[in-house]
A and B are shown apart, each in its own frame.
Chain A
Amino acid sequence: MEYEIKPADKLSLNLKELWEYKELFYFFTWRDIKVKYKQTVLGFAWAILQPALMMVVFTFLFGKAIGAQSHISMPYPVFVYTGLMLWGIFSGGLQASGNSMVANANIIKKIYFPRLIIPLSSILVSVFDFLMTIIPFIGLLLYYQTNVDWLRLFIFFPLSFIIILLTTFGIGTFLAALNVKYRDFRYVLPFMIQFLMFATPVIYPATIVTDERIKFLLSLNPLSSAIAIFRSIFEPLPIDYNALGLGLAMSAFFLLIGIYYFRKTEAYFADLA
């Protein structure tokens, strides 16, 4: 086993090395999940309770006020819950990964491993939370006796998940790297997440927007196409394949940008953190 340590100049993804460190990846994710719910009375139940409570709030406050029900064919609680489930991966993942490099600075300064493991494993925590939210979701579907299109379920559920995950990985790693150098992003992040929530059709249907320019901007948001196809499993509406294609392309674009920037700057994390 011979290798060289050289000045950082060449940019490579080095997936092989990432694979060699898969156990550390596992341990970091495991640690983050464990620590997140340690010393809480309700434990993992929080993962379920958070979106459930949000759903109740949005149903009572916004569901009627903005007249969303007239634009959709499924019950508003189901509608908003589907949005919140996927949104949770993004917002939780972004929050965790954005601060992850700084939070793990003491490890980064003392030990080498592929740095990408840190933001990625912190995002997997919100994937775990997402899996937990499926349980009450099934209850919700049964309660409202919602129809499920099984074919769409098997195609669009994984697809929407992948779009969300790639987008979250992309923006999350980008912000993680930026935050090492510019701690401003610690303060920008909560604001940004809140803003993006309203720029994404999570609590309102996309059809409520009539302005063509805003419609175009929304279509560039991969989260909106992910949420749209996820919802299409539960309401028999035609699929906008252009929007889906654009969503996939945009999520891949975000992923490339994020990982490119991360890889470009990671060599100096230990000096800056």
Chain B
Amino acid sequence: MRPIIEIQSISKNFKIQHERQSYLSLRDSFTNIFKSKNTLEEFWALKDVSFDVYPGESIGILGRNGAGKSTLLKILSKITPPYSGKIISRGRIASLLEVGTGFHPELTGRENIYLNGSILGLKRSEINKQFDAIVDFSGVEKFLDTPLKHYSSGMQLRLAFAVAAHLEPEILIIDEVLAVGDAEFQKKCMGKMGEVSKSGRTILFVSHNISALSSLCTKGIVLANGALKFNGDITSAIKYYSGEYLNNITSWEGNEGDDQVRLHKTWIKNNTENLIIESSYDIEVGITVEVLKPIRDLILGFMLYSELGAELAYSLYDDDQDKVLQLITTPGIYTRKFIIPANTLAMGSYKLEFDVGIHMTKKIIASQGELSFSVENISGIGRRHLTPNVKGRSSLFRPNWKVE
């Protein structure tokens, strides 16, 4: 069988200008004539990426922010040209890099269905044919002749997804469109996407949502710094991505310590089964110790470090008491959990060290049970300044702005 898309050593570079607005002005162009050009830094968003896509496959594209996923989708959608290499495509491609592209607030729901559908590549006759189904799916029939600006954001989203869900291309390209909306809406979207992939269409899907990827996709590719690192079935791709590539150690088990206190288990857990921590859920840090002899002044806690080694937090199990209390004195097995609330940590890598010892006396655990983990930002809240490898103007805490 011939591939439906052949991607042949695609590269794309950008010239980055430091401390400059995103667009040029004429004056800059003039003054630049007299300046040396070394303020430009070349940045390869994609470097020599090749893979084939066969009809009916659904491929998940994994990678951290800035790995080149979106650039790849943009090239596939013909929005931006590659610098070198080529892509041979043998089917009609529809790309959903966003839901509701081209929605206009002044136009009514009905008018926006036609406009948006047409932008997504539907013929007017196709929209006519599907119109009732789109309206049904969106559930906004009462407001069809109301300008879109009077819709709630949820209604706009439902309408937008309804139009997108009725596209019938051979190849569908989707970029994290599911990362918006409430849980119920996401469930509905996932259901529809599952249907689409079962109907035999070819899908390329970028998402940070590991559970969505593993349920929707059959194959996976992993991108890192613009290069293709892995190409295989989705389970292995996820494993590769979260394990080898991110170097995540999210749990530890053993038996370390001295004749008074032993460390048995440490872990960090999200609500998902994966090694990737999603910042939109509470993150649980756990520790299990065994006390062998009666003790006093037990220290039990952890330190949280950033990727670069900055100490972000230090907390002990008796922090919320007024004074150091003898919470644990008798022998036995003790498990304590600390919750880092959802939407606190920004995207990036972190390290956890555990502190077990006797106050003012001795340190029992030094580096045993150490964990490292990556936080991914899935819902898109406050993501702009959260690129940890850019110097300055970045954040390790995830802002969660509310509009009043």
Residues of chain A touching chain B, judged by Cβ–Cβ distance below 8 Å, are 1-8, 23-24, 27, 31, 34-35, 38-39, 106-113, 180-184, 267-268, 270-272
Contacts and interface: CB of A to CB of B under 8 A. Distances in A.
B81 A113 contact: no
30 contacts: A1-B90, A1-B92, A4-B86, A4-B87, A5-B81, A5-B82, A6-B87, A7-B83, A7-B84, A23-B118, A24-B119, A27-B119, A35-B106, A38-B107, A38-B147, A106-B101, A106-B102, A110-B98, A110-B101, A111-B77, A111-B95, A111-B119, A112-B79, A113-B119, A181-B24, A183-B23, A183-B25, A270-B79, A271-B14, A271-B80
A24 B26 CA distance: 33
A212 to B, nearest CB: 34
A270 B76 CA distance: 13
B104 interface: yes
A135 to B, nearest CB: 25
A34 B111 CA distance: 10
B82 A7 contact: yes
Contacts of B25: 182-184
A268 B106 contact: no
Nearest to B114: A27
Contact of B81 (A27, A109, A267): A267
Contacts of A23: 118, 123-124
A108 B26 CA distance: 23
B252 to A, nearest CB: 44
A184 B27 CA distance: 9
Given A111-B79, A113-B119, A183-B23, A31 B104 contact: yes
A2 B90 contact: yes
A24 B74 CA distance: 20
B78 interface: yes
B79 A6 contact: no
A267 B82 CA distance: 10
Contacts of A34: 106-107, 111
A112 B97 CA distance: 11
Given A110-B79, A182-B25, 7 more contacts: A1-B90, A4-B88, A7-B83, A7-B85, A7-B86, A8-B81, A31-B104
A271 B23 CA distance: 10
Contact of B118 (A27, A39, A109, A268): A27
Nearest to B116: A27
Contacts of A4: 86-89
A111 B92 CA distance: 14
B86 A5 contact: yes
A82 B87 CA distance: 53
A66 B83 CA distance: 59
Contacts of A109: 79, 97
B78 to A, nearest CB: 4
Contacts of B356: none
A31 B107 CA distance: 8
Nearest to A38: B106
Interface string B23-36: 11111010000000
Nearest to B101: A110
Residue in B24, B27, B147 with the greatest tally of chain A CB atoms within 10 Å: B24
Interface in B111-168: 111, 114-115, 118-120, 123-124, 147
B79 A7 contact: no
B88 A111 contact: no
B91 interface: yes
A34 to B, nearest CB: 6
B76 to A, nearest CB: 7
Contacts of B24: 181-182
B190 interface: no
B381 interface: no
B365 interface: no
Contacts of B179: none
Contacts of B86: 4-7
A110 B115 contact: no
B304 interface: no
A184 B28 CA distance: 11
Contacts of B75: 5
Nearest to A24: B118
Contacts of B88: 2-4
A35 B92 contact: no
B87 A110 contact: no
Interface in B1-48: 14, 23-27, 29
A137 to B, nearest CB: 29
Contact of B26 (A2, A3, A184): A184
Contacts of A39: 106
A7 B29 CA distance: 25
B80 A267 contact: yes
A165 B185 CA distance: 47
B101 A6 contact: no
A270 B106 contact: no
Given A34-B107, A181-B24, A5 B76 contact: yes
Nearest to B118: A27
A5 B73 CA distance: 12
A166 B102 CA distance: 28
B115 A27 contact: yes
A2 B88 CA distance: 7
Contacts of B74: 270
A232 B277 CA distance: 76
Contacts of B78: 5, 112
Nearest to A180: B23
A182 B29 contact: yes
B205 to A, nearest CB: 16
A110 B177 CA distance: 12
